[in-house]
């Protein structure tokens, strides 16, 4: 049965190194995913599943998006001041059983907008999911292991998800959509697991087989789900780039320094810290302290309340936000992993 909790699914926009000004759509509750990646900045997966469900009602997701876009249209005109509408967020977007319908409706109702899917490709073994994903302008699947062992160590997938299934799914998607849909392949490098010379050569062979428009090398730049992880050094990025580039163009977007307050997870981490430090705060004070516009702060607050990390309260007619015990625990775990 669909979850009837009112969704808070639209967040941002955020300034993305890869996508420019991107408005995010999250289709699953915190932290629902088919993988439990050790580097995930959102923390451990709390509901590990590969079963598709209508976690949030599709009409409510589209209604929330329409409201946000109408607000932006008043300020930015027909392009809404956006480069992409991106399916990402707190878990795997394609787990939503009506993901394809939502994407199709956005394409039909807002033809001036470009759409992007960030996915772990765990469901790409399903031709239905591949057909749904093919409606996006840009698809960025991740493949973090060059073999089954690396894949399991880094991604810690749901038991039905295997390296071979993910590889075959991505390869099939590329074969079916080459020349129609732009596709980058993201590889997240983790020291001591998939950063060896032999791993680099295997990734080169995989890139040669998949034939993406480019391979994007990613690395840790904030605490992940597992403590003690470190970013790969610059020389490793250069070595991987030199090995893979004869078979496929390579990009390292993560090399560019992030602008403060533009990353989804960074903003929410700062927001939770603010609530811990100052106690109950209204949205106006939070907006002023974090130097972000009110509508964007409201989106982040909504996501945190939906995740159970914050809650609302009232003083007379004034609405304020309070850090919950779960939010305080999340902060401690994140700080302990630094």
Tens-place pLDDT, residues 49-70: 999 999 999 999 999 999 999 9
Q: What is the model's pLDDT at position 4? A: 40
Domain 10-255 has CATH 3.20.20.70: yes
The two counts, helices (H) then strands (E), for the chain are 11, 12
Q: Are 102 and 27 in contact (CB under 8 A)?
A: yes
Q: What is the tens place of the pLDDT at every residue in 205-234? A: 999 999 999 999 998 877 777 878 888 888
What is the average pLDDT across 284-311?
73
Q: What is the model's pLDDT at position 216? A: 94
Which of 301, 297, 291 has the alpha carbon at shortest distance from 321?
301
Decide: helix, strand or coil at residue 99.
helix
**Going along the chain, which residue ranges are E strands?**
10-16, 20-25, 32-33, 47-48, 84-87, 115-119, 138-141, 182-188, 214-218, 250-251, 310-315, 318-323
Q: What's the whole-model pTM score?
A: 0.76
- Per-domain residue ranges of the chain: 10-255, 264-336
What is the average pLDDT across 255-259?
45
291-302 burial, b at 16+ Cβ within 10 Å, e below that, comes to: ebeeebbebbbb
Q: What is the tens place of the pLDDT at every residue in 1-17? A: 344 445 468 887 877 77
Q: What is the tens place of the pLDDT at every residue in 85-131? A: 999 878 999 999 999 999 999 999 999 999 999 999 999 999 999 99
Which CATH class name applies to 264-336? mainly alpha
Which of 91, 158, 154 has the alpha carbon at shortest distance from 118?
91
Evaluate the CA torsion angle 158, 160, 166, 172 in order and state its sign: negative
What is the average pLDDT across 18-32?
87
Q: How many CB atoms lie within 10 A of CB 90?
A: 26
- As a whole number of angstroms, the longest Cα–Cα distance in the chain is 65
Q: What is the model's pLDDT at position 224? A: 76
Residue 163, preceding peptide bond in cis (omega within 30° of 0): no
Using CA atoms, how far apart are residues 291 and 269, in angstroms rounded to an integer? 15
Residue 31, preceding peptide bond in cis (omega within 30° of 0): yes
pLDDT of 318 higher than 50: yes
Q: What is the model's pLDDT at position 266? A: 66
Q: What is the model's pLDDT at position 147? A: 97
Instruction: Report DSSP state, residue 32.
Output: E
> What are the phi and psi torsion angles at 64 (to 5°)?
-65, -40
Q: What is the tens place of the pLDDT at every residue in 142-165? A: 999 999 999 999 999 999 999 999
> What are the phi and psi torsion angles at 116 (to 5°)?
-135, 145
> What are the phi and psi torsion angles at 142 (to 5°)?
-105, 145
pLDDT of 338 higher than 60: no
Q: What is the model's pLDDT at position 69? A: 93
Residue partners of 238: CB distance under 8 A and separation at least 6: none
What is the average pLDDT across 169-192?
96
Do the strands 310-315 and 318-323 form a parallel or antiparallel pair, or are they unpaired? antiparallel
Q: What is the model's pLDDT at position 2? A: 41
**Residue 258: pLDDT band with limits 50, 70, 90:** very low
Using CA atoms, how far apart are residues 232 and 235, in angstroms rounded to an integer? 8
Q: What is the model's pLDDT at position 21? A: 85
Sequence-ordered alpha helix ranges (H) in 245-324: 264-278, 283-290, 294-307
148-183 burial, b at 16+ Cβ within 10 Å, e below that, comes to: eebbeebbbbbeebbbebbbebbeebbeebeeebbb
pLDDT of 172 higher than 70: yes
**Residue 337: pLDDT band with limits 50, 70, 90:** low
Q: Are 155 and 188 in contact (CB under 8 A)?
A: no
Q: What is the tens place of the pLDDT at every residue in 263-278? A: 456 677 788 888 898 8
Using CA atoms, how far apart are residues 177 and 146, in angstroms rounded to an integer? 23
Q: Are 138 and 114 in contact (CB under 8 A)?
A: yes
Q: What is the model's pLDDT at position 306? A: 65
Q: What is the model's pLDDT at position 295? A: 60
Mean pLDDT, the chain, integer = 86
Decide: helix, strand or coil at residue 305.
helix
Q: How many CB atoms lie within 10 A of CB 270?
A: 17
pLDDT of 237 higher than 60: yes
């Amino acid at each position: 049965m669909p979850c009837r909790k009112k969704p808070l699914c639209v967040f941002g926009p955020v300034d993305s190194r890869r996508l420019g000004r991107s408005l995010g759509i999250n289709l699953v509750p915190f932290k629902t995913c088919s993988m439990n990646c050790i580097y995930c900045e959102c923390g451990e997966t709390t509901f590990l599943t590969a079963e598709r469900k209508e976690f949030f009602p599709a009409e409510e997701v589209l209604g929330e998006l329409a409201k946000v876009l109408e607000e932006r249209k008043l300020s930015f005109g027909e392009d809404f001041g956006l480069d992409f509408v991106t399916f990402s967020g707190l878990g795997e977007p394609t787990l939503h059983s009506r993901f394809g319908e939502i994407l199709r409706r956005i394409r039909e109702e807002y033809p001036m907008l470009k759409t992007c899917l960030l996915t772990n490709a765990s469901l790409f073994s399903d031709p239905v999911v591949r057909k749904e994903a093919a409606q996006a302008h840009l698809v960025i699947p991740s493949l973090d292991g060059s073999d089954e062992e690396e894949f399991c160590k880094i991604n810690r997938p749901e038991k039905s998800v295997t390296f071979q299934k993910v590889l075959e799914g991505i390869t099939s998607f590329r074969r079916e959509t080459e020349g129609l849909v732009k596709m980058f392949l993201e590889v997240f490098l983790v020291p001591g697991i998939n950063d060896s010379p032999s791993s680099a050569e295997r990734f080169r062979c995989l890139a040669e087989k998949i034939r993406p428009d480019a391979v994007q090398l990613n690395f840790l730049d904030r605490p992940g789900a597992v403590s003690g992880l470190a970013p790969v050094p610059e020389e490793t990025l250069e070595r991987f780039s030199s090995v893979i580039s004869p078979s496929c163009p390579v990009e390292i977007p993560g090399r560019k320094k992030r602008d403060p307050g533009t990353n989804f997870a960074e903003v929410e981490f700062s927001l939770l810290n603010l609530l811990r430090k100052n106690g109950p705060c209204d949205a106006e004070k939070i907006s002023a302290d974090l130097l972000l516009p009110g509508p964007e702060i409201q989106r982040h607050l909504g996501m945190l309340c939906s995740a159970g990390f914050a809650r609302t309260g009232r003083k007379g007619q004034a609405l304020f936000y309070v850090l919950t015990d779960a939010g305080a625990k999340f902060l401690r775990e994140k700080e302990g992993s630094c």
